Amino acid sequence: MLKPRSFLTSLTSHIPPGQFGRYLVVGIWNTVFGYGMFALFTALLASYIPASYLAASLLSSVLNITVSFLGYKWFVFKTKGHYFTEWARCLIIYSGSILLGLALLPPSVFVVAYLTDNPHAAPYIAGALLLATQVILSFFGHKMFTFRNGVAAATSMEYGNFRGRQ
């Protein structure tokens, strides 16, 4: 049986030093930026659109995913070219993360409420636990899918006349 330290080492041995730390830095920046854009768009659109927070959420999400993508591309995974392919893959990873969160949140809230006997705090605790899980899964999703290196990454999403165009 593997010891906890050797198990962790075997899981992380393929991650370049500092890459996960850079991922967390970009993630923290992106969280602050994304919420700031949501608040700004909500305030700017409030006098023009009823329930402006819905439009603000959509606009800030697209902008936030794009800014996040660029941070990951340039600062974390340091890939070259293939902007459109990697951006589309980034959307896939974020969509999967959102769907996973939506699917796991209700049962997680139920379990946390049962274990803590605190139904009011359960959504917050469960949300934080899922967020931590999503951060780790998203890191590996971006590393192994969005920004994977090599010819396979460049060619796997090429179709017809769009081959090689980014």
- Number of domains making up the chain: 2
> How confident is the model over 112-137, as pLDDT tens digits?
999 999 998 888 898 888 888 888 88
pLDDT bucket at 16, cuts 50 / 70 / 90: confident
Task: Assign 164 a pLDDT band (cuts: 50, 70, 90).
Answer: very low
Q: Which pLDDT does position 11 carry in this prediction? A: 59
Same domain, 39 and 101: no
| Structure confidence at residue 166 as a pLDDT band (50, 70, 90) | very low
Give the separation between CA 131 and CA 84, rounded to whole angstroms.
Answer: 27
What mean pLDDT, rounded, does the chain reach? Answer: 82
Q: Examine residue 63 and state whether it is found in any structural domain, yes or no.
A: yes
Q: Given pLDDT bands bounded at 50, 70 and 90, which one contains residue 13?
A: low
**2 lies in a domain?**
no
The whole domain housing 87 covers 80-159
Q: Give the angle 74-157-30 at the CA atoms, nearest 5°.
A: 30
Please tell me what DSSP assigns to residue 18.
T
The alpha helices in 117-150, defined as continuous H runs, are: 122-141
Tens digit of each residue's pLDDT (9 = 90 or more) over 81-124: 999 999 999 999 988 888 888 888 899 999 999 999 999 888 88
Q: Are residues 53 and 87 in the same domain?
A: no
DSSP class of 82: -
Question: Can you give the pLDDT at residue 158?
Answer: 42
Q: Is the distance from CB of 97 to CB of 134 less than 8 angstroms?
A: yes
**Cβ(56)–Cβ(38) below 8 Å:** yes
Token digits of residue 70: 């660029």
- pTM surpassing 0.85? no
* Token pair of 41 as six digits: 């768009």
Residue 14 confidence (pLDDT) = 65
**Vertex 165, ends 164 and 166: CA angle to 5°?**
115
CB 143 within 8 A of CB 77: yes
Which of 30, 60, 78 finishes a domain?
78
Q: Are residues 92 and 154 in the same domain?
A: yes
Measured in Å, how far apart are the chain's first and last C-alpha atoms?
Answer: 47
Within a domain: 5: no
In a shared domain, residues 86 and 73: no
The whole-number average pLDDT for the span 42-50 is: 92
